[in-house]
Amino acid sequence: MNSILVTKHIDKHFHKPKDFHVLKDISIEVSKGEFVSIMGKSGSGKSTLLYILSTMDTDYTGELYLNNELITGKTPQELSRIRNKNIGFVFQFHYLLSEFSVIENVMLPAKKLAEKTHEEIENDAIEKLKMLNIGHLAKQRASRISGGEKQRVAIARALINNPSILMGDEPTGNLDSHNSENVFSIFKRLKEEEGLSLLVVTHDEDFAQRTDRLITMEDGKILQ
């Protein structure tokens, strides 16, 4: 099977302030090299779902598989490792460490994984930065680059461990149209040239229409 990510009947409730059935019977599948977008009104459950898919939230029923391996039920230590190795995540806000240089920010998840030497990680980071056309900013402090550049650094950081899937929660939500277009092209190229799978929540209709497949959410459900 060529699925990178599969969910089977995921349900989730929030319990406070009162019971709220936020995700209802979510069964989705993302194939290798597929670029999938998720749209839906504010409050429909998109971010809640992404937290589960990215293994950060374990409070749900149903099953989550990554690379055909059942992820549901694993220990926090196992999840942390699986997440770091297999999943890249890009948020609306870049969450870079502003006192650190660009390259130090990109290197962090690889340092945490601790599978390569400092030099190897540094070379990998430079390669990612060059691929995103920001190689020249490697030594710059993260606080001293533009918003569009910061988001590209965040993408480089998400890619440093060569994940099998890149997830994004409104990764272009904070960017102007020029920089949004740039991020879209980067995602498309990663899919086409590296066979990366992508799952991206967006409010941008034009962005979503140009992905391989659009999943629409409404009131915690997938619309078929």
Ligand X SMILES: Nc1ncnc2c1ncn2[C@@H]1O[C@H](COP(=O)(O)OP(=O)(O)OP(=O)(O)O)[C@@H](O)[C@H]1O
Contact between 47 and ligand X (CB under 6 A)? yes
Q: How many residues bind ligand X (CB under 6 A)?
A: 11
Contact between 77 and ligand X (CB under 6 A)? no
Element (H, E) at 77: helix 76-86
Count of Cβ atoms closer than 10 Å to residue 46 Cβ: 21
Residue 224 binding: pick among ligand X, Mg ion, none (C-beta 5-8 Å cut-off by kind): none
Q: How far is the CB of 126 from ligand X (least distance, A)?
A: 34
Interaction pattern, residues 21-50, with Mg ion; x per rule: CB under 5 A: --------------------------x---
**Contacting residue, 1, 43, 147, 185, with ligand X by CB under 6 A:** 43
Q: How far is the CB of 83 from ligand X (least distance, A)?
A: 19
C-alpha span between 181 and 159 (Å, rounded): 19
Name residues contacting ligand X, limited to 6-35 (CB under 6 A).
14, 20, 22
**157: exposed, middle or buried (Cβ count in 10 Å: 0-12, 13-18, 19+):** buried
Where on the phi/psi map is residue 147: left (φ > 0), alpha (ψ -120 to 50), or beta? alpha
Q: What six digits make up the tokens of 182? A: 């740039």
Omega within 30 of 0 (cis) for the link into 17: yes
Contact between 40 and ligand X (CB under 6 A)? yes
Binding positions for Mg ion, rule: CB under 5 A = 47
